[in-house]
Structure 1
Amino acid sequence: MSYHIPSHLHDLPIYRKALDIFSLSRRISEYFSYDLSDLHHDGSEKTGIYFTGDIVQQSISLAPEIAKAEEARFSDRKYKHVASLSRLTNLLYHTSYRLERSHSHGKDYLPILRRELRKFKKLQRNWLLTL
């Protein structure tokens, strides 16, 4: 789905933070994928490999939801996208904890992601007041 990105979005701190979270989660995913791509001794896959894709998929959806909320004309549509943004943020938190339980050396990077998500939630609360 392609849509027009308004020029003022790049000035919004929440939008920039969403893009930062996406790039951070993509790098974390790449690091985890390398560690978790090998198989168990019995030939089965490591389940943590799926969580690496989840954090990328969830984080890539943050910025478009902000754009959709900004473009929406009616308040019920705006708050629908805000609610979706909140769910995505909570899912990212949950997925980061699930990844932390996997056996990988990349666990040290997940607190960084969660710290960025906490900053994002603060920005989200302030941004919600401006809608």
Structure 2
Amino acid sequence: MKAYQLPVYKKALEIFKISSAVSSYFSDNRHVIEMELSSVPAHNYAGRLVTESLQLAPGIASVVTARTKELRLKRIEKIRKAAKRIKSNCRNIEITGIKETEFLDLLRREILHFEHLISDWIHQNQKN
């Protein structure tokens, strides 16, 4: 199966779209580079949401194309770390005093679902 056909890949794309929308909302529609350079902590964390979520779908594709099991496991670990950093950035945005947390809660739920899809995908591949 091609990477783009996998449910986990599709979920990674959804997470990127949600992260982009959340980041845009919390940073007053700033560009990612502007978010990183901003003196406002919420903008910095919002920019990091985008950059971390941008790694997920290509990461899935790289797992699919990996030649060895060791390489696949390394790449999966990188994906899991990126997902963990997304959750951490959501928490950090909240700590800055943002009141509208429902968007962050949505993103967290999607990350949780993504993590379950990753686990299911790994178990399915181990059977094959």
| TM-score bracket, shorter-length normalisation | 0.7 to 0.9
* TM-score, normalised with respect to structure 2: 0.85
Q: What is the alpha-carbon distance in structure 2 between the residues aligned to residue 77 and residue 49 of structure 1?
A: 34
Structure 2: gaps spanning 5 or more residues:
31-37
Residues 49-88 of structure 1 mapped to structure 2, 5 A cutoff: 49-88=43-82
Counterpart check, 1:45 vs 2:36: no
Q: CA deviation at 1:8?
A: 1.6
2:19 to 18, 22, 25: 25
SS of corresponding position for 1:104: coil
Residues paired across the two proteins, number: 118
Q: Runs of 4 or more off by more than 4 Å in structure 1?
A: none
Q: What is the alpha-carbon distance in structure 1 between the residues aligned to residue 100 and residue 59 of structure 2?
A: 28
Residues 10-21 of structure 1 mapped to structure 2, 5 A cutoff: 10-21=4-15
Higher-Rg structure is 1
Cross-structure match for 2:34:
none
2:86 to 88, 92, 117: 92
Q: CA deviation at 1:45?
A: 2.7
* TM-score, normalised with respect to structure 1: 0.83
